Structures are given as C-alpha cells and as structure tokens.
Structure 1
C-alpha cells in the first residue's frame, strides 16, 4: 500500500511540476506588472526599439511644438535620449500602459477603441533638451492598433491572466505537497527522487516547446499593429521567449542533477 500511495503521489507531483514551471513563469514574467516591467526595462536597450521610439518621438515633437523644433534638430536629441538611462525608465512606463490595456479589466470607455500610448513625458524631455521653454500639456497619444477586432482589444487577457495565476499557485502547492508525501512514505526514496528529477526535465522540455508556440501565437496577435510598433512588439516577444528558454534550461539542468542523485542514492545505499 505504501508503494502504491508513494507511486501515485510521485506521478501527481510530476504532472504538477510540468504544469507549474510554464504557468509560474507566465505569471511572474508576463501577467505580473512588476515582472513585465523588468522585461521591458531590458528590452529598452535593444537598438531596434530605440530607433523606432526615436523616430516616433521626433514626429510627435515636430507636431507638438508646432514646428518650432524641426526634425533635423529633434532627431539627434531623440537618439541620445533613447540611449539614456532615463529612456529605460520612461519606456517601462510605456510598456506598463500596454500591459494595463491588455491585462486589466476593460472599462466601457475602452471597448472598441484602439490601444494608445501616451508619449507626453518623452516628447517634453526632448523638447526641453533643445533649450526651448516649451512644455506640451498633453496627452500626446499614438494609436498602436486599429481598434476592435484586431486581437489586442482592451482587457484581452484579463480573464486568461487570472486563470493562469490560479493554475500556477495550485500546481506549485500540489507539486510540493505530493513530492514531500512521496518522499515521506516511499520505501525507495532514491527512486522517487530520480523520478521527480525526470519530471523537472520533462517540464523544462515542454516549457521550451511552449515558448516556441507562444512566440508564434504572440506574433500573430500583434500582426495588426503598425509596422514600427510591430517590430518593437516582435523584439519584445523574442526577448520574453528567450527568458523562458533560459529558465527552462536551468530547471532542466537542476532536474537532471536531482535524477542523477536519486539514482546514486538508490544504487549506493539501497534507499
């Protein structure tokens, strides 16, 4: 009976581990606003994102200043700005606007409208760098999507985000409890430990596969955005997927180590 219960608990733990890794990663790095902001901060150092944002800021500066700041003057200033630490902070604010649009519950005013980004702070920083004592009150907004039906409507991932968060927490609790139970009552704890390690390796492999599927799906979702914004979104998606791949490799390596330890314990100590 002990062997049966231990085996069942081990199987449950393996399944829970496989579910927990990708769901916890999505919860921490995509759904959680602070985790998403951390990812965005890293992406702000990408040259493609800096180039696109510099061009967009220049367009808005010329318009907002009523031509007082021509593009020839604004462009080098905007380029220096997008390479600065201040830009990284401002870019996080921009990314947070996108995150709130997609993951917060949509308000009646947002339904059917395109996603907009408020570039007021960025534009005013560049204008101030020219020496002009002009401050645009704003908001200076840029449409990122075309509106309803483009796949990125307000609140698009609100319910999905809540469900994945619940799955992440439940799977983690189940994995820990089931693993401890299996180790506590198992007659061959080395074998149990080895199987738990195999579960971690399987979870890493599946997470790697899901990362590829996520990248493909996410790029389809942003296909309705304008050219430059789409490039920024795709760079961000690639960065996020690379992070999941990195995490999966670490978990896979740890799982392999646990499996080896389990086998050694079983063979050496018959435990």
Structure 2
C-alpha cells in the first residue's frame, strides 16, 4: 500500500508540475506588464522589425493628418527619414517601451474587467507613441506641430485569439495552486515510500521527461503561430519575433528544470548505492 500511494503521488507531482511551470512562466512574462515589456523590448533591437515598424508608423502618421500642399514635400522628406532611421533616434527606445506597455494594456488589462464591460475585439498593437515620435521630430524640423490620434492600432489577431488570451489571463495566475499541489504530492511520495532513493530517481526522470515535452510543445506552438499569418508585415513579424523571444525565455526555465531533474536522479542513485552498501552483509 505504501508503494502504491508513493507511486500515485509521484505521478500526480509530475502532472501538476507539467501545468505549474508553463503557467508560472506565462504569468510572470506575458500576463504581467513588466514581463511583457521586457520580452517585447528585445524586438526593438531587430533591424528588420525596426524598419517595418518605422515604415508603418510613418504611413499611419501620413494617413492621420491632412497637410497643406506646400508642406507635403517637407513631410515626405521627414517621413522618409523616419522610415529609414527612426530606430537611431535617442528617444526611440522610450517610445517603443510605451508602445509595448500600451499594447499590453489593450490586450490584457480589459480581460480582468467584468464580462459585460469588455467589448470583443482582436489582438492589437498600439504604435501611437511612435507616430507621436514622428510628429515631434517633424515639429522640431518644420516648426509646425500637428495633432495626431491618441492611438494608432495594428491588428495582430482574430477575436478567437483574443478569447484565448483572456482565458490565459484568467488561469495563468493560478499556477501556484498546481505548484503547491506538486510539492505536497512529492513530499507525500517521499514520506510514504519504503525507499526514498527510488522516489527521487523517478521524480528526476519525470522532470527530464517534462523538459522534453515542454521543448516539443514550444516547437509545436511556434508552428501554429506561423500558420496564423494575416498578410500584414508588421503584425506577422511582431507575432513571430515576440514568440521567438518568449520561446528563448521559456527555454531557460526548461534548461534549469532539466538540470534540477538530473540532480534528483544523481542524488537518488547515490542514496540507493549508499543504502545498498549499508544493507549488505559485509557492511
């Protein structure tokens, strides 16, 4: 009976860990604003993404204002400069961070409001701060300050994907429940086991198996993201680059989990060898 209880507890600990670790990573790095901004911040250093983003911001600026004919040639020069070199401006990093924060609030903050207060919509990227950045540089070069919309939205995904984000926002912060259950199950397995060294070995092997499953799952999710192409250069590139950065960040957690699991296996084998020596007649 003790062996049966210990085996069930090991399986339960592994299954709960399989849920807790990805949910904890998503909560800390995607659902929470600072984590999202940290991951999105790395996108601002990608030259291709910067170029497309600057081009999109320049196009939004041009479409949002109605310039007199004498100013159009001047504006064309300014927009061309913005599209080709906006990422070199000293105030670009701050504008990109504000873009990431605004976009996070659009896609995640409303999911925490009552259902009747949420208007179903697609996933959005707000490049308004970049449009205002172009406006400010245009004003400094021409002396003419033009009002632009407070938001300049780029659609990232369909309403069904927005609904998925809302579910993730609701359930990811509950990762600690699964984590607590995994810890309690592991302790129960150790207490009930006749040979704790065997429990350590199986917990470690389960952790190594989870690392492989998480890696395969991340690769599969990457393929699914690639299939959600909308034909919009900025939107598609943002999704691909953001997921690549997220995958790299979660990969660090997978590596740590694999190393910790390998340590449990080594510890369990060492404990089993020591125990076997103590039980031998020669000892």
Structure 1: distance between partners of 2:161 and 2:193:
51
2:131 aligned residue: 123
- Secondary structure at the counterpart of residue 52 of structure 2: helix
For residues 189 and 15 of structure 1, the distance between their equivalents in structure 2, rounded to whole angstroms, comes to: 20
Aligned pair partner of 2:263 in 245, 257, 260: 257
Q: 1:264 to 1:243 in 2, by over 3 A?
A: same
Partner of 2:199: 192
Alignment of 1:76-225 (within 5 A): 76-77=81-82, 79-83=84-88, 86-103=91-108, 104-105=110-111, 110-111=119-120, 117-130=125-138, 131=140, 132-139=142-149, 141-145=151-155, 150-151=158-159, 155-166=163-174, 168-221=175-228, 223-224=229-230
- Residues 49 and 232, structure 1, Cα contact 8 Å, conserved in 2: yes
Unmatched tracts of structure 1, length 5 or more? none
CA distance in 1, matches of 2:218, 2:37: 19
Q: CA RMSD in A?
A: 3.0
CA deviation map 1:75-104 (0-9, x unaligned): 334544424564333323323343334333
**For residues 23 and 240 of structure 1, do their structure 2 counterparts lie closer, same or farther at Cα, with a shift above 3 Å needed?**
same
Which residue of 226, 231, 235 corresponds with 1:229? 235
Q: Unmatched 5+ residue regions in structure 2?
A: 279-283
Q: What is the number of equivalent residue pairs in this alignment?
A: 266
Q: Residue 50 of structure 1 contacts residue 83 of structure 1 at CA under 8 Å; is this kept in 2?
A: no
Q: Does the aligned pair in 1 maintain the 2:96–2:129 contact within 8 Å? A: no
TM-score (norm 2): 0.79
Structure 1 residue 8 corresponds to structure 2 residue 16: no
Return the structure number with greater helix share: 2
User: SS at 2:45's partner residue?
Assistant: coil
Report the TM-score, using the length of structure 1 for normalisation: 0.82
